[in-house]
């Protein structure tokens, strides 16, 4: 065999996760830094890929496995398949990226009728040996031979019932022997062959089964959901490790831990253990484990060793670790470690504290957090004022609150979730095959298992609320209900769960927006120290501006003035302006709108003082402010009918067979009022028909409105400049900017600038002060990109409107693309990402780069930013940093994400350049 497919733990490169998988690499690393790891070896991910491609194990692999088993034999002093002193091994999966529970693992491999006797003699504990045997037969049967778990479970339950025993620990050696016999029988019946006695055959089948599980549905779904590409993880490694037992008696235990609390980030011993148990019992939530602090009383010496292990792990990996251990007859073994998956609260707190402790640098503190994770911090919490009484409590397993309809199985959850329902998934305990239910659910509630159970770990990873081990709840999956005392909660009933306290409530409880923690403020202030890009907000009201400020925005990059037009006190005026059939009538409506707009701008400038505020002149087509043609026609019909009714004419239900909303209240109205209403609606209808466009998004909008109706733009410019004057008069420091949308020619810009110059003069002389502001343009048409050099003669700044620019570059609209063909394009790789979410660096990005370059040639100090939605997306932010924009502007809730992403962009700029 030329290729090296197997590495012992003493030899494998602990940094090479791609080849050895995360678990394998860490087992090598831990062995090499002197931690007590059972002996073992790793079969590489490359072997897995070769196997999956050729449908057979690589040549010579099995011989090499034998050679490495021999090494374990030497180190452990036990023999594989030996009748007297048998070596048992575990066969565990592990890819480059941790995918908890998604692939298969087999324990106690090496047991057969012969070695079983040896194990009994060796341990003097027949109960233990039969217990190990029956577990192995079931696990091997399921994973390697594809036998349904239930076939075994039925026999297990029957023996328990017959013996009148409730808990598994009550089973004695004889019961377990019977169970093992029955299980062997199941294998024979289901496969037509006896259980394999040859230990190397067991090993070979298990290795193949683990390799195959890489392509199992569970694992494939998981990779798709979390965007794990082959570049990130390709194939699973197989770890073959000497078994150590936590279930050989009361001086044995098994446990899992985090080096810090993964729910809160607090620096404390965290985890759970079970005395006299095997690791799977803790993780699967079959028995509810004890908190690790109790180990300090129960096994003080081992607790100290565990604290020591925890400290060594953190110091070595400089990262919070999620580890598993077993105590076999008073000796502590570390079985696995990996970087801990934590929620955003915990990530932020640990970053800040580990930096303060000197464990990591500021850069590491920032880089270890995926910016997108911060979105979790903006998840709702239960309103502390709520007076609702909880009906039960479980363990707070993943913080955040959620409400939804109860569902008792993952398939229904998936169906209801797809239909847009909010779901809480209730299970006794969850298994990896429930994963699609997790995706669909707002929260997860289990009646069994601890904080490290499958449900808890997966929910935390997804940032979903989870309560585990709510033992007061009796979950009856068949009847689709949960019972708490006399209370029956049925499928479809709404409940609220609080994953931070473990409390469960009936109905929907009010939630509040979370506030920023001190740690997050600290972390983001570090981010600002590194970031070169500034982060501005797309907001239109003083209230949202204050929110954006509290999230750390240092300006408003886009105020869409049309949003101000839509408020109920302005819309009638805007409609009057649109309906006006001559300039004078339009001017009258504008005169009434003017003071309202001026006050809006003044408040906005004040709220954002002293930061820049970019106000964009009117952009959308006029018809957007009017009802649709259909609606108007219906309303006119309804008004005419109502007129007939007050005239005393008979109006039958048939005449009324219309689906219309009559404006209310009507009964006090007289015919005259109705006639006026009809006349107005008819005028609106006429206008709507006049304004009709085949393709309004590419039609009469943006600066083109300003050219056709200069008085509208002039009113807006005057409102802005008077607001500037008023703020200046008051001594409020402001940095206003006027921005023109949809520009395609220099002449358009010159025209609008001429309005600005004229009005500036008038306002300056009216207020007797000089006005300071900038004038610039959106760049959101392809022509603006190609003419950027000349636009910069007039524009003091550019702001990329990448929503429109993307539509223009791709020649498809977001709505049609996302509803029709974009999912197909993304799934089949025709297009890597959704370009409306992730900036298309190769296409749109090239236009941006060209624009920025030619703009800077004309005006070297031109300010350039982005205000399309992609401006809040980390990957897009890296590109914006790369082409040296001055700022990104995004919606308020994405500001923390953008601040961290801007720091990442700077810290990782070399990697980005290298591609």
- Catalytic annotation present for 867: yes
Q: Is residue 801 within the footprint of ligand PEP (CB under 6 A)?
A: yes
State the residue for tokens 């300006």: 555
Which residue's CB is nearer to Mg ion, number 133 or number 625? 625
Report the Cα 256 to chain-centroid distance in Å. 25
**Any catalytic annotation for residue 334?**
no
Identified binder of ligand PEP from the candidate list 98, 802, 809, 875, rule CB under 6 A = 802
Place of tokens 């033992």: 471
Between helix 173-191 and helix 149-162 the angle, nearest 10°, is 150
Q: Which region among 261-269, 595-603, 776-784, 785-793 touches Mg ion (by CB under 5 A)? A: 776-784
Closest separation in Å from C-beta 888 to ligand PEP: 12
Q: Stretches 45-53, 772-780, 830-838, 892-900: which one binds Mg ion (CB under 5 A)?
A: 772-780
**804 marked ligand binding residue:** yes
Nearer to ligand PEP, 321 or 802 (CB): 802
Query: What secondary structure, in 3-state letters, does 825-876 show?
Result: HHHCCCCCCCCCCCCCCCCHHHHHHHHHHHHHHHCCCCEEEECCHHHHCHHH
Q: Any idea which residue has 């300090």 for tokens?
A: 296
Question: x/- site string to Mg ion, residues 785 to 824, per CB under 5 A?
Answer: ----------------x--x--------------------
Query: Rounded to an integer, what distance in angstroms lies between the CA atom of residue 108 and that of residue 47?
Result: 23
- Plot region of 227 (φ>0 → left; ψ -120 to 50 → alpha; else → beta): left
Taking residues 859 to 898 in sequence order and writing x for each that binds ligand PEP by CB under 6 A, - otherwise, the string is: --------xx------------------------------
**Cβ-based nearer residue to ligand PEP, 180 or 802:** 802
Tell me the C-alpha distance between 809 and 826, whole Å.
18
- Give least dist CB 370 to ligand PEP, A: 25
The stretch near ligand PEP (CB under 6 A) out of 69-77, 161-169, 319-327, 795-803 is 795-803
* Neighbouring residues of 38: CB distance < 8 A, sequence distance ≥ 6: 76, 241, 242, 243, 244, 333, 335
Catalytic residue among 454, 536, 623, 904: 454
Find the shortest distance in angstroms from Cβ 379 to ligand PEP: 26
Should residue 412 be labelled a site residue for ligand PEP when binding is judged by CB under 6 A? Answer: no
Counting contacts by CB under 5 A, is residue 50 touching Mg ion? no
Minimum distance of ligand PEP from residue 203's CB (angstroms) = 58
- Residue 804 sits in the site that holds ligand PEP (CB under 6 A): yes
Residue 846's binding partner among ligand PEP, Mg ion, none (Cβ under 5 to 8 angstroms by kind) is none
Nearest distance from C-beta of residue 805 to ligand PEP, angstroms:
7
443 vs 501: CA distance, rounded Å: 14
Token code pair at residue 541: 């009201």
CB of 880 to Mg ion, least distance (A): 17
Query: Is residue 257 annotated as involved in ligand binding?
Result: no
Which residues inside 764-793 make contact with ligand PEP, applying CB under 6 A? 780
- 598 vs 616, beta carbon nearer ligand PEP: 616
Residue 400's CB is within 10 A of a number of other CB atoms, namely: 27
Full DSSP string of 420-487 = T--EEEEESS--GGGHHHHHH-SEEEESS--TTSHHHHHHHHHT-EEEE--TT-EEETTTTEEEETTE
Radius of gyration of the chain (CA): 34
Residue 803 interacts with ligand PEP (CB under 6 A): yes or no: yes
Q: Which helix (H) or strand (E) holds 698?
A: none
Q: How many residues bind ligand PEP (CB under 6 A)?
A: 10
* Given the residues 48, 867, 880, 890, the one annotated as active site: 867
255: helix, strand or coil: strand
Complex with ligand PEP: residue 78 or 560, whichever CB lies closer: 560
Q: Write the CA distances from 562 to 559, 625, 653, integer angstroms.
A: 9, 9, 41
Residue 440 CA to chain centroid, in angstroms? 13
- For position 840 contacting Mg ion by CB under 5 A, the verdict is no
Residue 808 near ligand PEP by CB under 6 A: no
Active site residues: 454, 867
Q: Can you give the binding site for Mg ion, defined by CB under 5 A?
A: 780, 801, 804
The footprint of ligand PEP (CB under 6 A) covers: 558, 560, 619, 780, 801-804, 867-868
Binding-site residue positions: 560, 616, 780, 801-804
């Amino acid at each position: 065999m030329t290729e090296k497919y197997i590495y012992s733990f003493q030899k494998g490169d602990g940094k090479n996760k791609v080849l050895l998988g995360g678990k394998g690499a860490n087992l090598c690393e831990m062995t090499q830094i002197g931690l007590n790891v059972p002996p073992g070896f790793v079969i590489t991910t490359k072997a897995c890929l070769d196997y999956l491609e050729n449908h057979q194990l690589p040549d010579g692999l099995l011989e090499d496995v034998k050679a490495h088993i021999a090494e374990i034999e030497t180190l452990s002093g036990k023999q594989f398949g030996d009748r007297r002193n048998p070596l048992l091994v575990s066969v565990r999966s592990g890819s480059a990226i941790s995918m908890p529970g998604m692939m298969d693992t087999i324990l106690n491999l090496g047991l057969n009728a012969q070695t079983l006797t040896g194990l009994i003699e060796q341990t003097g504990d027949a109960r233990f040996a039969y217990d190990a045997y029956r577990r192995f037969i079931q696990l091997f049967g399921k994973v390697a031979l594809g036998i349904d778990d239930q076939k075994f479970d039925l026999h297990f339950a029957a023996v328990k019932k017959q013996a009148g025993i409730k808990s598994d620990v009550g089973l004695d050696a004889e019961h377990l022997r019977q169970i093992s016999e029955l299980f062997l029988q199941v294998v024979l019946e289901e496969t037509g062959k006896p259980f394999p006695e040859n230990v190397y055959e067991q090993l070979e089948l298990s290795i193949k089964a683990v390799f195959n599980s890489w392509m199992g549905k569970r694992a494939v779904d998981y990779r798709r959901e979390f965007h794990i590409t082959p570049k990130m993880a390709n194939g699973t490694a197989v770890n073959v490790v000497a078994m150590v037992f936590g279930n050989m008696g009361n001086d044995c235990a098994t446990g899992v831990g985090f080096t810090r609390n993964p729910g809160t980030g607090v620096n404390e011993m965290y985890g759970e253990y079970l005395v006299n148990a095997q690791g799977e019992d803790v993780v699967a939530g079959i028995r509810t484990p004890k908190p690790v602090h109790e180990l300090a009383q129960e096994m003080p010496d081992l607790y100290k060793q565990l604290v020591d292990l925890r400290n060594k792990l953190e110091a070595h990996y400089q990262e919070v670790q999620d580890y598993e251990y077993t105590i076999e007859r008073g000796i502590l073994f570390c079985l696995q470690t990996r970087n801990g998956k934590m929620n955003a609260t915990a990530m932020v707190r640990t970053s800040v504290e580990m930096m303060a402790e000197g464990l990591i640098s500021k850069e590491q503190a920032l880089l270890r957090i995926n910016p997108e994770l911060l979105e979790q911090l903006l998840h709702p919490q239960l309103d502390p004022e709520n007076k609702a009484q909880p009906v039960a409590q479980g363990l707070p397993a993943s913080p955040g609150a959620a409400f939804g309809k109860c569902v008792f199985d993952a398939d229904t959850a998936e169906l209801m979730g797809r239909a847009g329902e909010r779901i809480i998934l209730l299970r006794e305990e969850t298994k990896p095959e429930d994963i699609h239910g997790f995706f669909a659910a707002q929260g997860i509630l289990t009646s069994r298992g601890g904080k490290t159970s499958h449900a808890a770990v997966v929910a935390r990873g997804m940032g979903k609320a989870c309560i585990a081990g709510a033992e007061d709840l009796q979950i009856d999956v068949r009847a689709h209900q949960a019972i708490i005392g006399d209370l029956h909660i049925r499928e479809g009933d709404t409940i609220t769960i609080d994953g931070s306290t473990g409390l469960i409530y009936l109905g929907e409880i009010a939630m509040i927006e979370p506030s920023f923690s001190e740690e997050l403020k600290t972390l983001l202030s570090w981010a600002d120290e590194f970031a070169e890009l500034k982060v501005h907000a797309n907001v239109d009201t003083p209230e949202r501006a204050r929110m954006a400020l509290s999230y750390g925005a240092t300006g408003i990059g886009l105020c869409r003035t049309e949003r101000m037009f839509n408020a109920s006190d302005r819309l009638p005026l805007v409609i009057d302006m649109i309906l006006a059939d001559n300039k004078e009538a339009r001017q009258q409506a504008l005169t009434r709108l003017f003071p309202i707009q001026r006050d809006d701008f003044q408040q906005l400038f004040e709220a954002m003082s002293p930061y820049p505020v970019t106000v964009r002149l009117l952009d959308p087509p006029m018809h957007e402010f009017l009802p649709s043609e259909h609606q108007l026609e219906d309303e006119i019909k309804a008004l005419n009918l109502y007129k007939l009714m007050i005239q005393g004419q008979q109006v039958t239900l048939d005449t009324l067979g219309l689906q219309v909303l009559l404006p209310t209240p009507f009964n006090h109205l007289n015919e005259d009022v109705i006639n006026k209403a009809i006349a107005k609606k008819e005028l609106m209808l006429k206008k709507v028909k006049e304004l009709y466009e085949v393709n309004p998004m590419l039609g009469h909008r943006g600066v083109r409105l300003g050219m056709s109706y200069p008085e509208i733009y002039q009113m807006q410019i005057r409102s802005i400049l008077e607001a500037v004057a008023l703020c200046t008069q008051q001594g409020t420091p402001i940095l206003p900017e006027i921005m023109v949308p949809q520009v395609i020619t220099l002449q358009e810009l010159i025209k609008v600038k001429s309005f600005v110059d004229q009005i500036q003069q008038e306002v300056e002389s009216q207020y007797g002060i000089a006005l300071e502001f900038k004038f610039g343009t959106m760049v959101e048409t392809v022509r603006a990109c190609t003419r950027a050099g000349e636009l910069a003669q007039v524009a003091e700044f550019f702001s990329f409107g990448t929503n429109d620019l993307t539509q223009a570059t791709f020649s498809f609209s977001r709505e049609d693309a996302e509803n029709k063909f974009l999912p197909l394009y993304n799934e089949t790789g025709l297009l890597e990402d959704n370009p409306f979410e992730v900036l298309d660096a190769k296409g749109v990005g090239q236009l941006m780069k060209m624009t920025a370059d030619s703009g800077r040639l004309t005006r070297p100090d031109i300010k350039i930013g982005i205000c399309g939605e992609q401006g809040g997306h980390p990957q897009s932010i890296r590109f914006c940093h790369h082409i040296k924009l001055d700022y990104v502007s995004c919606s308020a809730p994405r500001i923390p994400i953008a601040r961290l992403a801007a720091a990442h962009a700077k810290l990782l700029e070399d990697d980005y350049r290298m591609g």
